[in-house]
Chains A and B, each alone.
Chain A
Amino acid sequence: MSNEAKSKWKNVVDFPANVRKSIFRNPLPSSDRGRAATSFSNFFLHIQPVRVSRQALRPTYTMGLGLISFFLFVILTVTGVLLMFYYVPSTTQAYDRMLDLRSSVAFGVILRNMHRWSAHAMVATVFLHMCRVFFTGSYKPPREFNWMIGVALFLLTLLSSFTGYLLPWDQLAFWAITVGTSIAGYAPLVGKTVKFILLGDATVGQEALLRFYVLHVVVLPLALSLLVAVHFWRIRKDGGLAKPEEVETEPPVEVVVVEPEPVLAVAARSAHAGSDRRFSLQGIVRGTFVKVDKLNPDTVFSWPNLLIAELFVLLLTIAGVMAVSLFFNAPLEQPVNVMHPPNPAKAPWYFLGLQEQVSYSAFWGGIGVPGIELLLLVLLPYFDRGKAGVGRWFARQRLLANSLFLICVIANVILIVIGTFFRGANWQFVSPF
């Protein structure tokens, strides 16, 4: 065989290996250098730092709540896109399509169940994640802005869930949205206009269904995705997950201004001395410099430690959603009858605390108190700036802040429980027992 033929044959033999090498620049790492390289040479892994603190990996510290919320969002996106293939946002067809999902669409029931239960779960995990961040003091500087993004993500999650609630066009959906949008109508000055723009009409009807559909499948998911990206990016730029001060020795983020050399000068120099060390300007991120023999003992390599932890949480999330979806069917009541509201007409559970408040005072319960709570949430990290007790659950130094927040959480949970279980016909007090 000639040399040419040999090299051609070699290309054929090496084809699988060459393809693999062209995709994965890095072989499976066997050294620290390789582990570091894996984290920043892979698009999906470069979101993560090369090394991650042991604290961030402790399940009892984060409980993986943020990650679970993200995975639920992924599940919601996938199942939601699949459901879109069969759904029609029309008052005459939507309900029939729900029945079709049950009767004639392969995996229709399980997909709808997964979508519904993931949506409920995401509202819960996003809220619990917020509680975790509060009780560990992780919202304090330099993470104040990320806390604000988190609050926005919580609101977007609620809105996504709320807009999706109308789409099956059954009695539950119709009256929950009628009650929910009326609460918006109580906002001063703009309330009536906001309600009208949201519904596209005076009452909940075809226009509202179409609007909620567009918000639910395009506007809100896009906004959520964008903010989730910023939220994740800021975690690293703000120095990773919050750690107790004694562990956190490195200074907070500083903008290091590096004047790049003129390109021509560098090129000229490297042309003269080929072995010149050249540096490229990469992102300067705190805590990710890997110094040989000077590894921080409180950190471990992300590959494989963080990756395994993340995949494990993903597995748990999918398993949980699947288990619930296999055993419990998403509710579907009678088709919409605008003449006969169910008695009592209840909003989705996460708004039942609001509805309970509204039954005492429409303005204060629906707009005033929630507005003040939201304002406090947003302003909190700009006024509670002490470093003490950060990075630990229920630190004694944060007794006052944690107690106040806990009281607010418990009050809201009690209101939701009352609204869900203790309110019957005409919103009279009833005993569920």
Chain B
Amino acid sequence: MGAAPRTIEGREHRSGEEQIPRRRFLAWLSGVGLVGSALAGVFSTFVFMKPRATYGQPNRFRIGRPEEFPPGARIAIDPKRVCIVREGNKVAAISTTCTHLGCIVAPSSTGFQCPCHGSQFDVDGNVTGGPAPKSLSWFQVTLTPNGELEVDKDNEIQTGTYLSV
């Protein structure tokens, strides 16, 4: 030990110069790693929490043949939360979920009426009164090969777009 103190001292000194930046770099790297893992963990938790498949009712469903909806009919299917409208030979599906806070609107003589906060809509679902911020959605209706009507609630279309049957 005591034989070559200068050498040891010198070595310590030299390696000390390199060690501090290396330690600092490792500390910095560990910090980034920890914070990064935490952020990645939070993000992936939310990804995990957001379901890819839901177990509730499907958003695309068949509602029967066009003949079941005579011209002029406005039939609300509450479990599916849509109202099927037929005018002449044109068919459309209007959402009955209030755009305000998600209550089910009921068809009325003037259009639709929400029981929760008094929003009113005309026959096409446009807002005529109350706190609703936007009109009721229209969903795409298609005719399946076997002649049934199919509503796709994932596919919102422009108000006033009908399917001719």
Using a CB–CB cutoff of 8 Å, the interface residues on chain A facing chain B are 175, 178-179, 181-183, 185, 193, 196-197, 200-203, 205-207, 338-345, 355, 358-363, 425-428
B145 within 8 Å of A by Cβ?
no
**Which applies to chain B's interface (DSSP): helix, strand, loop or mixed?**
loop
Interface band, chain B: 20 to 34
Contact A178 B101 (CB under 8 A): yes
Contact A425 B115 (CB under 8 A): yes
Contact A427 B117 (CB under 8 A): yes
B133 / chain A contacts, CB cutoff of 8 Å: 362-363
Q: How far is the CA of A361 from the CA of B130 in the complex (A)?
A: 10
B49 within 8 Å of A by Cβ?
yes
Q: How far is the CA of A425 from the CA of B113 in the complex (A)?
A: 12
Q: How far is the CA of A191 from the CA of B132 in the complex (A)?
A: 17
Contact B54 A179 (CB under 8 A): no
Q: How far is the CA of A196 from the CA of B46 in the complex (A)?
A: 11
Contact B116 A179 (CB under 8 A): yes
Contact B116 A201 (CB under 8 A): no
Mark B73-110 against chain A: 1 for CB-CB distance below 8 A, else 0. Answer: 00000110100000000000000000011111000000
Contact B104 A361 (CB under 8 A): no
B114 / chain A contacts, CB cutoff of 8 Å: 426
B134: shortest Cβ distance to chain A, in Å?
9
A192: shortest Cβ distance to chain B, in Å?
11
B118 / chain A contacts, CB cutoff of 8 Å: 359, 426-428
Q: How far is the CA of A360 from the CA of B132 in the complex (A)?
A: 9
Contact B103 A175 (CB under 8 A): yes
Contact B56 A338 (CB under 8 A): no
Known: A175-B103, A179-B101, A196-B50. A205 touches B116 (CB 8 A): no
Using a CB–CB cutoff of 8 Å, the interface residues on chain B facing chain A are 46, 49-51, 54-56, 59, 78-79, 81, 100-104, 113-118, 131-133
Known: A425-B115, A427-B117, A427-B118. A362 touches B50 (CB 8 A): no
Given contacts A362-B132, A362-B133, 20 further A-B contacts (CB under 8 A): A179-B103, A181-B102, A193-B50, A197-B46, A197-B49, A203-B56, A203-B102, A338-B104, A344-B116, A345-B103, A345-B115, A355-B117, A358-B100, A358-B117, A361-B131, A425-B115, A426-B114, A426-B115, A427-B118, A428-B118
Q: How far is the CA of A179 from the CA of B97 in the complex (A)?
A: 12
Contact B131 A343 (CB under 8 A): no
A-B contact count (CB 8 A): 89
A344 / chain B contacts, CB cutoff of 8 Å: 115-117
Pick the residue among B50, B55, B103, B131 that contacts A341 (CB under 8 A).
B103
B109: shortest Cβ distance to chain A, in Å?
15
Q: How far is the CA of A355 from the CA of B118 in the complex (A)?
A: 13
Q: How far is the CA of A355 from the CA of B131 in the complex (A)?
A: 11
Contact A339 B78 (CB under 8 A): yes
A425 / chain B contacts, CB cutoff of 8 Å: 115
8 A-B pairs closest in CB distance = A182-B101, A343-B115, A426-B118, A339-B78, A182-B102, A427-B117, A345-B116, A201-B56
Contact A362 B103 (CB under 8 A): no
B54 / chain A contacts, CB cutoff of 8 Å: 200-202, 207
Q: How far is the CA of A185 from the CA of B56 in the complex (A)?
A: 19
B55 / chain A contacts, CB cutoff of 8 Å: 201, 205-207
A393: shortest Cβ distance to chain B, in Å?
39
Contact B79 A202 (CB under 8 A): no
Contact B103 A200 (CB under 8 A): no
Q: How far is the CA of A340 from the CA of B115 in the complex (A)?
A: 10
A358 / chain B contacts, CB cutoff of 8 Å: 100-101, 117, 131
Contact B115 A338 (CB under 8 A): no
A352: shortest Cβ distance to chain B, in Å?
12
A208: shortest Cβ distance to chain B, in Å?
9
